[in-house]
Every structure is written in C-alpha cells, then in structure tokens.
Amino acid sequence: MMPFSELIRNATARNKSHLCVGLDPDPEKFPDHLSKDINGARTFVESIIDSTSDLVCCYKPNCGFFEQFGWEGVQMLEELRSMIPAHIPMLLDAKRSDIGNTATAYAKSAFDVIRADAITVNPLLGRDSIEPFTIYKSKGVFLLALTSNPGAADFQLPNDLHYQVCDFASSMATNCPEVALVAGATRPDDLREIRERFPNGLILVPGVGSQGGELEETIKAGSRHDDLGLIINVSRAVLYASSGKDFAEAARDAASHFREQINNAISATA
C-alpha cells in the first residue's frame, strides 16, 4: 500500500495544489435550499467534493460533524472514502487518544472501517497511545503539536509542550516515517521553531482563511529545506463561500483562489 506521504506528493503534483479542504458539514451553515438532516449533509458534501476535487491535495473530514447526525452520519463517514476520488488522500480529523486496546480499536475504526489514509491523534497519553496507529505502516499519523485555537495558550504554550511533541515526533520518525504533525498558521514564530525541531516530516497547517493565518508567513516559517512539506487546510472559507444555490460553484472559486494564493506565496518565498 502506498505511504501517505507519497499519496500526498502524487496528488499535489497532479492538481498543482497544497490545499487541503476540510469536510465539516454544519447544518446551521447549509444553504437555505438544503435540508438540515443527513440528506442535506450528503448533498452538501458530495457537491463540495465534485466541485473541488481537481483543486486539492487532500480532504479532511472531521468526525464530529458526521457523528452529530447519529448512525446515519457514521454510515456516511464510512462511505466517504468511496465519494472521494481514489487518487486524493483522506485525512480523518478525529484527534483520537487512549491507551492499550482502546487505541487499537480507534485505529481499526479509522483505517479498516472508515479506510482513511491518515488520522489526527492527541499525543498527551504518550507512546503507548500512539503506537497502535503506527502499526499501520503506510498510514499518516498526525500528532497535535500546536493547534490554531485561542485555547492553545492554556496548556500547549506555557511549558513548551508543543516543542516536546515535536521532539517526540522526531524521535519516532526513524521507525515510523509516516508520523507527522499538526501546527497552526496563527503563530508563525512557533511554526518556524517546530519545523527546525521536525525538519523532515509533513505538517498539517490549520488556521488559514477564517482564522486569519497569513500564507506567506506560514510558508516561510514551515517549509522544509527541499520542498514545502506543508498541507495547508482551509475549511469554512471554502465550504461556506455562499449560502445560495451556487454554493458548490462558490466553493470551487474559493478553493481555486486559495490554491493560487498558496502557489503564489511559494513562488514569492522561493
């Protein structure tokens, strides 16, 4: 099975894109003509995928936005890998964390049932909570290092916890090359330090778009020596670019805009 990092590399080359679009179906933000139930969610998500699949390197469904619809939402999450074109990887934003058999069950759910190509994991329970995910050698395992929300200042920043996660990920990378990090775009100085401590792996970067992260600063701070090494996530600014019947077309325009901005910023910082 092809490693996640290679899937990303191939999708990036094919679509000339480092853009990851989050799939977060929020019924309160659906266009008015769509129902607020699972049927509306399915139409919404399928339309977003159909309109943007040639503009992205990855899709990132967030489990919570599907689970809120009950068993039908979980079923849709299981079907999502078949909705996404096979050449585009799917990164499951689950932030799972537990020990022993529970972590093993989470890994089986993500990789055997949902068939995700990668997953986000909360590393705070330590190595034994991460290893069940890394047993799946080809799958990406993204450890939360520095999130883009204001609450990152409560625990992640005061004691340099985010840097400890980076150092831990680097120590794992020799035996687990698909271990990666999540680090937000809202703190470019911290992102720069994170890249220095984690020089070779992929970094998923949320916080661009609605949360205000600056692209050029992000790319300067987070790029690897030989290539970008960043997966830049945008969710709401693409998904909810329009509340009308043209929502899919508007999402396409927004995704195209972000892809162009990212590529221009890469060229400007080369």
* Nearest Cα residue to 168 out of 226, 204, 127: 127
220 is catalytic: no
CB atoms within 10 A of CB 258: 25
> In angstroms, how far is the first alpha carbon of the chain from the final one?
33
Residue found under tokens 């883009």: 148
From 16, 36, 60, 95, the catalytic residue: 95
Q: Which alpha helices (H) appear in the chain, and where do they start and end?
A: 4-15, 38-52, 63-67, 71-83, 100-108, 127-134, 152-155, 161-172, 188-197, 215-222, 236-239, 247-269
**Torsions phi, psi of 60, nearest 5?**
-130, 85
Amino acid at the residue 104: T
Whether 48 and 23 have beta carbons less than 8 Å apart is answered as yes
Residues forming the active site? 95
